[in-house]
Structure 1
Amino acid sequence: MYRVSRHRSNAVPQKNPMQPVTPSTVMIDRSRLLDRFLRYVRVETTADPSSNLYPSSPGQRELGQMLRDELAAISILDAELDENALVWGTVPATDGSVSAGSPSPTVAMVAHMDTSPEAPGKDVNPQVIDAYAGGDIPLPSGGLISVAKSESLSDLVGKTLITTDGRTLLGGDDKAGIAIIMEVAQTLIENPHLVHGPVRILFTCDEEIGRGTDKIDLRKLDATVAYTLDGGGAGVIDVETFSADGATVRFVGHNIHPSIGKGRMVNALRAAADFVSALPRTTCTPETTEDREGFIHPHTIHGGVGEASVDLILRSFESEDLADYARLIETTANQVAADTPGIEAHVSIRQQYRNLREGLDDLPESVSLAEAAFEQLGRQPTRMIIRGGTDGSQLTEKGLPTPNLSSGQHNIHAVTEFACLDEMVEAAQHVIKMLELWSQQRA
């Protein structure tokens, strides 16, 4: 996913209609959190978009087994790795609401185990930089994390950073989120004085290839609200995502030996190329849009003379725009077919996910309580929009409001990816405070 800070609220975040809460005293074990993260990123979990299996790569199940065992070791009694390699667990409530007959809402914390297939994810060799001194960061591979291309570095002087050696992804997206949730779970278990309602833990597979929620049973999750820990930086609440559809345009021609092709060959590959060339070039593309602007993105051509297909993604913050994009694709494909006698064009559109905003409006507390938790920790929250999607997009569309929260990731999907331990600690503190506020609500 990719996010852009273009939705910073200038207004004072809305307060919750509740009495001020005395901040709980909790110390996050930085060393343990770091050890978890380093352990998780070394497991290769690259998603495989060519696979029809779920999970699409064996390392995701391997990491899931590790997480299930670690949850059981900290006395999560229902820790489970299910048949789909999803990891489940529950931290029991400490607020007394269940015994009082008026249970507080169940809050689910969600992160994904897979990493992006857009860069290598095998043999990750993490590098820890204590007290980052500023400036460019040289990597063992000879590469460089430059301040010029990583503006967030200027705000992280003195912090602990984790990078790769420059050959692979780090996997902070989303193993930073996993490590934070695991550390929160253990911290809550070790500190029963921390007040919270039931906390459901869920680690998913194949988020990076759009399948992260395919095997989730929301009845089993049984939560009022969920949060994905899958965001960049610190202090951010992602409240909007793109709405997204996928499209495939298939051209059917006629293949015959080229030596006798005159008047007989109909080249579907040429039709596919003509189609891509006829799409908008100076507007409505990833290369020409930013902020709230949507796009049509042809990303793969495959096939040959007899048949060739173009795969595209359609993105907009306004769901109704996707229908216009689909009509443009169909009109363009049909025109290419009309201009190339013998070519047939077939267009298929499939819905992927919808703007997070459309479901969060049904539970405004999902955002306002997250904001209040930041405020009570003395931090200024920032609302952001994502030029992409999360598991939360699909969970929200299915009826479970799921904002996305910071987890200290930076330069995601690149071999210059890095994570900030200090921001991960802050994220864990924020989750614990937020759970305290949710415990004061009633389901």
Structure 2
Amino acid sequence: MLPPIQHSVLERFLRYVQIDTQSDPHSKTFPSTEKQKDLGRVLAQELQAIGASDAHMDEHGYVYATLPATVDKPVPVICFCSHMDTSPDSSGTHVKPIVHPNYDGRDLVLPDDPTVVIRLKDHPNLAEQMGNDIVTASGLTLLGADNKAGVAEIMDAAQYLLQHPEIPHGKIRILFTPDEEVGRGVEKVDLQKLGADFGYTIDGENLGAFEDETFSADAATLILHGVSAHPGFAKGKMESALKIAGDVLARLPKDRLTPEAVAGRDGFIHPVNMEGIAEKVVIHFIIRDFTDEGLAAHEAFLHQLVEEVMQHYPNSRFELQFHEQYRNMKKVLDQHPQVSEFALEAIRRAGIEPIASSIRGGTDGSRLSFMGLPCPNIFAGEHAFHSKQEWVSVQDMEKAVETIVHLAMIWAE
């Protein structure tokens, strides 16, 4: 029986989301924004204050800390990891968190922009939150529960474990990362310094969710070289790269292979950015599938589609380049089944029925797994992330804290 947890997770979360840590996909620096270090400094100081004496933030913005083992026997070193940055998709400046107590199914009208309304019919997961306390932003920004809920949960669990050295656990390492939202979250992490055998990201959605499988992911860059000419004298000469780009995008399927038409284990080809003029256009795509074979098939499909379009523009040419982003972490985690088994048992001990699923996206855990740190993902309670309708349940965050504590204990058993 665990001693009661005097939770600090809500108080921490409300403070952390007010620190702007939005990352920038166009930045060439690391981290991509210096303001991410503002939260990193706060976390390092708070970790030291609660007894993690080695807590520090390095020059790249990573926060490292140790919870010493409370048992004498050898136990694998476990890492709990969350990212500090918030998505570039919606403003993270001047976040004003609001706690809506005792949710009863009503519409949550956000006061700073009453056109932003969180409705039960649009967010069916709210049906499971009756009587719980819901945290939202005010309508002008995202909330930042992705992933400051995870950060606050790890901090609350760390404080509890440090306050209760009678709870048996091995050495625990804490890692807070920048730039996860722009795909660079573990680019400069020092795994040797981290010194962990296995890890868990705390960055999931529904209460009880556990994920040990992600998309495999590539990026694609399509460069279209058209033929420019003065529009008054362009007959028989001009082949506008802008129109070629329009033809390429128009030929992409609308009922399959596109994010708005697929779910479950179906992958997609998704154009995310386009820029250019009549002479030259660059289109950036992301390509996703749960298998490497599916990923290769999608890339072959895109290549063939572009070749067919280019037949109508004989004086133009194209370049299509593919770049690996990350791979399905299940390949690694299947070699270490206890990592997943212990997480599922920890969720059960917190009084929750686990929900094992796949992530239609990526986490730091994907890349960490292939870097040598097997690292599945555990729920943090965040919902509607990357949007002004983002919300999180206080009670779900508290259950995530309990899960972390139980997981630490299970590894020591």
What TM-score range do you get, normalising by the shorter chain? over 0.9
Shift of 1:347: 0.5
Shift of 1:270: 1.3
Where do residues 81-96 of structure 1 align in structure 2 (5 Å cutoff)?
Answer: 81-96=57-72
Aligned partner of 1:382 in structure 2 is: 355
1:42 paired residue among 11, 18, 41 = 18
Aligned partner of 1:119 in structure 2 is: 90
Shift of 1:336: 2.2
Aligned partner of 2:260 in structure 1 is: 287
* 1:192 lines up with 2:165 in the alignment: yes
Is the 2:78–2:196 contact (alpha carbons within 8 Å) kept by the matching residues of 1?
Answer: yes
Shift of 1:175: 0.1
Aligned partner of 1:77 in structure 2 is: 53
2:149 and 2:347 mapped to 1: Cα distance?
A: 19
Instruction: Classify the secondary structure of the residue corresponding to 1:149.
Output: coil
Is the 2:349–2:403 contact (alpha carbons within 8 Å) kept by the matching residues of 1?
Answer: no
Map Cα deviations across residues 299-353 of structure 1 (whole Å, 9 max, x no partner): 2211111110111111111121111111112222222223202211101001111
Where do residues 108-257 of structure 1 align in structure 2 (5 Å cutoff)?
Answer: 108-140=79-111, 141-142=113-114, 143-257=116-230
Map Cα deviations across residues 71-110 of structure 1 (whole Å, 9 max, x no partner): 111221211111101111111111122xxxxx21000000
Aligned partner of 1:67 in structure 2 is: 43
Is the 1:28–1:428 contact (alpha carbons within 8 Å) kept by the matching residues of 2?
Answer: no
Shift of 1:256: 3.6
With 318-327 and 262-271 compared, the bigger mean Cα shift is at 262-271
Is the 1:244–1:352 contact (alpha carbons within 8 Å) kept by the matching residues of 2?
Answer: yes
Is the 2:350–2:399 contact (alpha carbons within 8 Å) kept by the matching residues of 1?
Answer: no
Where do residues 318-337 of structure 1 align in structure 2 (5 Å cutoff)?
Answer: 318-337=291-310
Map Cα deviations across residues 108-154 of structure 1 (whole Å, 9 max, x no partner): 00000111111111110000122223322121021211000011111
1:312 paired residue among 285, 299, 303 = 285
* 1:391 lines up with 2:368 in the alignment: no
How many residues in Structure 1 have an aligned counterpart in Structure 2?
411
Map Cα deviations across residues 333-390 of structure 1 (whole Å, 9 max, x no partner): 2222232022111010011111121111011011101111223333221101111111
Any gaps of 5 or more consecutive residues in structure 1?
1-22, 98-102
Aligned partner of 2:344 in structure 1 is: 371
With 330-339 and 137-146 compared, the bigger mean Cα shift is at 330-339
Instruction: Classify the secondary structure of the residue corresponding to 1:313.
Output: strand
Structure-1-length-normalised TM-score: 0.90
Shift of 1:259: 2.9
1:267 and 1:45 mapped to 2: Cα distance?
A: 40
1:297 paired residue among 256, 270, 277 = 270
Is the 1:28–1:425 contact (alpha carbons within 8 Å) kept by the matching residues of 2?
Answer: no
Instruction: Classify the secondary structure of the residue corresponding to 1:384.
Output: strand
Aligned partner of 1:338 in structure 2 is: 311
1:36 and 1:345 mapped to 2: Cα distance?
A: 51
Report the RMSD for the aligned CA atoms in angstroms.
Answer: 1.3
1:406 paired residue among 379, 383, 386 = 379
Structure-2-length-normalised TM-score: 0.96
Any gaps of 5 or more consecutive residues in structure 2?
none
